[in-house]
Amino acid sequence: MLTKPAEADFSIVLRRYDIEQQVVVTPEEMAKKMLPKDEVFRKVAEEVLYMRFKTVGPSVAEAIKARAPLDVINNGLVAGMEVVAKLYAEHVYYLPEIMMAAKTMEIGIAIAERQVPGGRDSKGTVIMHAAEGDPHDIGKNIAAVMMKSSGYDVVDLGRDVPVSDLVAETVKVKPMLVTGTALMTTTMTAFPAEAKLFRENGIETPLMGCGGAVNRDFANSYDLGIYSEKAPQTPKIADKIREGYDWKKIREEWDDIVGGK
């Protein structure tokens, strides 16, 4: 006999079947633990966390009156996205929330980015891309803002960039640095393939491997490979390349460089 709907226990029915235990943490609890204490940054971060794409613009515009635009990006928008990523990992948020939060963050970044001081002489050109097959470009976009604000020209090839396109563009543009982002273990293998083709085409440009799937050991495992863990480290490394450091010297002095010494 069928159970009448009124008698069904929906707390048992409406649960994810593909994980062992449903995590009970709420976005509010996670926000309390992870979000910055600073009121201005917190408000911006909450816009991302709660996917408020209609109000993120006014909040960011308000925040950049009181705080530096790059800090609003890093300590507000990115901080909010970090909570979203954590909630996804804990199976509280699902893909639709991720996509809406990412969109909200992008709207905010576009507004803050316009206020980042620029207009200086270019320090050099950097090519940035997300690896072939990889749609994750949020970290790359943040790193691109940092590079532009530090005086570098950025040629952003976007996401899911075929290895052959990257090589062709690098031959054409002759950048002083190429960065790659991979958040998936299936796409990070693009970097050694790109480095091999760089070499075959006589390119000695350092190829920075970045993104969640990549660690320092992996980025150091192929010729030309160097590592950057967080977006704000990249201008420091690029400054050293300007001083004449090659990929081997960057590797040797990496800790000192990103430590700011």
Q: With binding defined as CB under 6 A, does residue 240 bind ligand B12?
A: no
Q: Which one of 142, 163, 226, 250 is in contact with ligand B12 (CB under 6 A)? A: 142
Using rule CB under 6 A, residue 228 touches ligand B12: yes
Check residue 138 for interaction with ligand B12 (CB under 6 A). yes
- With contacts defined by CB under 6 A, name the span among 15-23, 39-47, 162-170, 226-234 that binds ligand B12: 226-234
In this chain, which stretch among 16-24, 39-47, 131-139, 191-199 interacts with ligand B12, using CB under 6 A? 131-139
Asked if 170 is part of the footprint of ligand B12 (rule: CB under 6 A), the reply reads no
When asked if residue 139 is in the footprint of ligand B12 (CB under 6 A), the reply is yes
CB of 239 to ligand B12, least distance (A): 13
Which residue stretch of 10-18, 196-204, 208-216, 249-257 sits at the interface with ligand B12 (rule: CB under 6 A)? Answer: 208-216
Closest CA to 225 of 202, 200, 193: 193
Question: Between 203 and 208, whose beta carbon lies closer to ligand B12?
Answer: 208
202: left (phi over 0), alpha (psi -120 to 50) or beta: left
Q: Does 81 bind ligand B12 (CB under 6 A)?
A: yes
100 binds ligand B12 (CB under 6 A): no
Q: Of 70, 213, 219, 258, which one interacts with ligand B12 (CB under 6 A)?
A: 213
Binding-site ranges for ligand B12 (CB under 6 A)? 78, 81, 85, 88-89, 95, 98-99, 102, 128, 133, 135-140, 142-143, 179, 181, 183-186, 208, 210-213, 228, 230-231, 234
